[in-house]
Chain A
Amino acid sequence: SYELTQAPSVSVAPGQTASITCSGDGMGEKFAYWYQQKPGQSPVLVIYQDTKRPSGIPERFSGSNSGNTATLTISGTQVMDEADYYCQAWHISTVIFGGGTKLTVL
């Protein structure tokens, strides 16, 4: 079965750039999607179709996808960005989520 692999945790200092990766076989040939989930809240879509930001998502969130890895980049990370981040792809009419990465801003 198809799997997406994310690092369990990433730490970043406020104002610095955070990179969260999502690896899967041939990931660059699929669209990558990214969700942010804060404790006790529902997930929020932050990147779709590899690089696009939904309305209302700050410009500091960006995405890329090539080879076997999709990357979510947060430039000028703010304390409010501390959350779990999940990547997602579509494979043979089923949805696959990565295991999630806990971003700590300290």
Chain B
Amino acid sequence: QVHLVESGGGVVQPGGSLRLSCVASGFTLNNYGMHWVRQAPGKGLEWVAVISYDGSEKKYAESVKGRISISRDNSQSAVYLQMNSLRREDTAMYYCAKDGVFLIAEYYFDHWGPGTLVTVSS
């Protein structure tokens, strides 16, 4: 049974940094691309970033490019999201999500974690 658990959220001042973690279990992490998706309070879903199964490819939404970095440590069954220069508009629930296709990412999400809340506020 696939299980994803995010952590690392919290309250941070504008301009600050935060590192989110996602620990995966129930499947072989190094066979799947992994994504981060966020949802601002009362708003819709917004894709943030993807990392390929082996970490060799990374892609980002334009809204976070240059400020956010995705990484993974397959030996630790974990995926990370390093968030720098945070803005108020980055306030959201951040979900870790598993890509639906073995090895080659097809950019859809067949399992989601419960999310971790990031609040950017002074």
When distances are taken between beta carbons in the complex, the residues of chain A under 8 Å from B47 are: 94-97
Taking residues whose C-beta sits less than 8 angstroms from the other chain, chain A's interface range is 20 to 34
Asked if B110 and A48 make an inter-chain contact with CB atoms under 8 angstroms apart, the answer reads yes
Least CB separation from B35: chain A residue: A95
Least CB separation from B4: chain A residue: A42
Q: Which of A9-17, A58-66, A68-76, A85-93 contacts B (4 or more CB under 8 A)?
A: A85-93
Q: How far is the CB of B35 from chain A (nearest CB, A)?
A: 8
When distances are taken between beta carbons in the complex, the residues of chain B under 8 Å from A86 are: 44-45
Q: How far is the CB of A3 from chain B (nearest CB, A)?
A: 12
CB of B55 within 8 A of chain A?
no
Q: Which of A42, A43, A45, A99 has the most C-beta atoms of chain B within 10 angstroms of its own C-beta?
A: A42
Could you say which of A43, A93, A99, A100 contacts B109, with CB atoms under 8 Å apart?
Answer: A43
| B interface, CB within 8 angstroms of A | 35, 37, 44-47, 50, 59, 61-62, 95, 100, 106-115
